[in-house]
């Protein structure tokens, strides 16, 4: 079965999808860009960064990786068909998602060389996206026709749902337990938005046909993506600053921000001047009906 890379997070029937965007990874700090390229020039999508500067992500053709000072280590769940690394805390614990040949996908926690499966009870699929220093994990699960966010606190799962009818995705969590993510009011068009969950109190962060909040640090700085093509932003206490396009990238191309640490270092992916052919990689596939990147299928 061909798995086509089309953007970021996708809406599917009963499940969510995390493909790899076409482009090159970057780190942005102090106004300076650094390209993140895997061994042999492999395209990368960085998703998370901790305060030591360790970066996790995925190669275009999989699997996941952790980049420690330019040294790449592969993160691949044994027996999986493909897997990704999406979050890392200061202890070096990594979370992500893996799938088998039947496209059944679950989250994982990687600690000291040991993989532990993360699966919300009763869910069809589970994806883990972020982890803080207390070991709290956020992600998304699907059951029946709905997609929800969750926080896993030592094996106790709590559902996160911004709307009564549409999907919710939890992408990042900081050490204060603040959670960011994205939501859509329903599955049939309309605007989508980002959110901040502060102890169960939800605050909307922007809304458009394509908007999401991806990462948050302990200072409450939030990074995410807005527009089509998706452009990265930094939200600092309600003041939004567009992350400038990577020098030499295609005019009008995307520049997606996925993670931020306490030092303000941001990681993401951009469109290079020459875009390679798309790879064929997807985490979950059960009848795709739209994009949550956050792109929406319209009537």
Cross-strand bridge partners of residue 231 = 226, 255
Q: How many domains does the chain have?
A: 1
Query: DSSP 3-state assignment of 213?
Result: strand
pTM: 0.85
Question: Is 238 part of any domain?
Answer: yes
Q: Identify the pLDDT of residue 187.
A: 59
CA separation (Å) from 183 to 22, 72, 84, 128?
Answer: 23, 33, 22, 16
Q: Identify the pLDDT of residue 173.
A: 98
CA distance 223 to 219: 12
Question: Is 1 part of any domain?
Answer: no
Question: Is 297 part of any domain?
Answer: no
Which region holds residue 102: left if phi is over 0, alpha if psi is between -120 and 50, else beta? Answer: alpha
Residues in the chain: 299
Positions in the chain short of pLDDT 50: 1-22, 275-299
Q: Identify the pLDDT of residue 290.
A: 29
Helices (H), the chain: none
Question: Is 264 part of any domain?
Answer: yes
Q: Are 94 and 55 in contact (CB under 8 A)?
A: no
Q: Identify the pLDDT of residue 210.
A: 74
Q: Identify the pLDDT of residue 40.
A: 84
Q: Identify the pLDDT of residue 168.
A: 93
**Domain extent for 106:** 9-292
Question: Is 15 part of any domain?
Answer: yes
CATH number for the domain harbouring residue 237: 2.120.10.30
Q: Identify the pLDDT of residue 57.
A: 96
Question: Is 299 part of any domain?
Answer: no
Q: Are 145 and 173 in contact (CB under 8 A)?
A: no
Using the structure block, give the residue that is written with the tokens 């070096």: 92
Q: Identify the pLDDT of residue 274.
A: 52
Q: Identify the pLDDT of residue 197.
A: 96
Tokens of 223: 């990074």
Question: Is 108 part of any domain?
Answer: yes
Q: Identify the pLDDT of residue 262.
A: 98
Question: Is 218 part of any domain?
Answer: yes
Q: What are phi and psi of 295, to 5 degrees?
A: -100, 145
């Amino acid at each position: 079965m061909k798995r086509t890379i089309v953007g970021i997070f996708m809406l599917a029937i009963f499940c969510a999808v995390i493909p790899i965007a076409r482009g090159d990874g970057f780190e942005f700090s102090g106004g300076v860009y650094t390209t993140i390229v895997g061994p042999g020039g492999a395209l990368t999508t960085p998703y998370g960064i901790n305060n030591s500067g360790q970066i996790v992500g995925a190669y275009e053709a999989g699997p996941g990786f952790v980049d420690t000072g330019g040294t790449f280590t592969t993160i691949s769940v044994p027996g999986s068909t493909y897997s990704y690394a999406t979050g890392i805390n200061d202890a070096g614990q990594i979370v992500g998602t893996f799938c088998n040949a039947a496209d059944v996908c679950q989250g994982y926690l990687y600690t000291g060389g040991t993989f532990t499966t993360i699966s919300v009870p009763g869910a069809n699929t589970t994806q883990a996206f972020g982890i803080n220093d207390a070991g709290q994990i956020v992600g998304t699960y699907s059951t029946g026709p709905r997609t929800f966010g969750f926080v896993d606190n030592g094996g106790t799962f709590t559902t996160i749902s911004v709307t009564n009818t549409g999907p919710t995705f939890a992408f990042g969590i900081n050490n204060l337990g603040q959670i960011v993510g994205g939501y859509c009011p329903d599955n049939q068009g309309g605007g989508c938005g980002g959110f901040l969950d502060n102890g169960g109190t939800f605050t909307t962060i922007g809304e458009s046909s394509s908007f999401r909040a991806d990462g948050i640090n302990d200072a409450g700085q939030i990074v995410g993506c807005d527009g089509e093509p998706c452009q990265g932003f930094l939200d600092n206490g309600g003041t939004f600053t567009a992350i400038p396009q990577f020098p030499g990238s295609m005019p009008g191309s995307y520049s997606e921000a996925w993670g931020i640490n306490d030092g303000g270092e941001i990681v993401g992916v951009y469109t290079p001047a020459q875009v390679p052919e798309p790879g064929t990689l997807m985490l979950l596939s059960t009848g795709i009906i739209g994009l949550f990147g956050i792109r929406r299928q319209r009537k």
